[in-house]
Structure 1
């Protein structure tokens, strides 16, 4: 299990398949902020609520010059279904071997009703225009999280 990436550190590079087809490389987004959020599974209650909150605030996020990317171990076909069902307006990236989640520290030991397993810890990283992590939420509570992320992007763009 890897350590969390902390604010101030360089964001680990990635090149992941997108539900839109093709791949997205973090380095290609340099020059503007990126909201990289890790979630456990497509079309589950908490993950749907989180994705829809980002969808509903996407205009605000775009106006701040930021890009939202959702990452889970699900494959691109699952992502495409999830995206279509909830009309999500940002790419979902497939991390089936959880290498990117591990690089950020989002792949963690979880304890569900006494059963220990490995999985995604719901977490969000705001990456600044230079590719450094500006803000980290390690155990995201979905309610109100979208506003916290927008506030963090605003703080970046006003700095």
Structure 2
């Protein structure tokens, strides 16, 4: 297993395909799906902070609670000018079904070969990948990370809000 990137250094760049629900509301047929490639460049121009949430699997109990919490509180992240992207090994069809079922509004990116998970040092034998959150500053520098030893819990929106406030405070 590769080592996780160090805080203070550039975050590994990547391009992954993903989906994002757009439209008026929850449920099948109520939302449309935007498919796009999402890129974190190795040398991004100044922009917005990015929260990468790696999760083991679509529609599993802890992952569902985590992503529903983040999605329902997207305004907390948006008010801090922060993008939220969720990444797991499942394909776009699985992501679309998961997003529609739970009305998830952040992009869900597919990493079926676990290439990005490996670059971030979070692959694990037997479980595929560890639940992890990486906060990347507007300059592309990794500012904070949390990699779970066990995937039974996740970083709360309140804990992430504190991290974002600290980042913005300097």
**Could you state the TM-score of these two structures normalised by the residue count of structure 2?**
0.84
Please name the residue that 1:130 is paired with: 139
The 8 Å contact of residues 56 and 127 in structure 2, kept in 1 or not, is answered as: no
Normalising by structure 1, report the TM-score: 0.90
Q: Deviations over 1:16-62 (max 9, x none)?
A: 00123120001368511000011000000000000011012110100
Gaps in structure 2 of 5+ consecutive residues: 20-33
Per the alignment, residue 147 of structure 1 pairs with: 158
Assess, with a 3 A threshold, how the Cα gap between structure 1 residues 158 and 3 changes in structure 2: closer, same or farther. Answer: same
1:52 aligns with 2:68: yes
Could you say which residue in structure 2 is the equivalent of 1:74? 90
Cα RMSD, aligned residues only: 1.6
Structure 1 residue aligned with 2:51: 35
Q: 1:129 to 1:141 in 2, by over 3 A?
A: farther
Report Cα offsets for 1:78-109 as digits up to 9, x if no partner: 00111111111110000000000000011123
Of Structure 1 and Structure 2, which has the larger fraction of its residues in helix? 1
Residue 6 of structure 1, CA deviation: 2.2
Aligned residues: 152
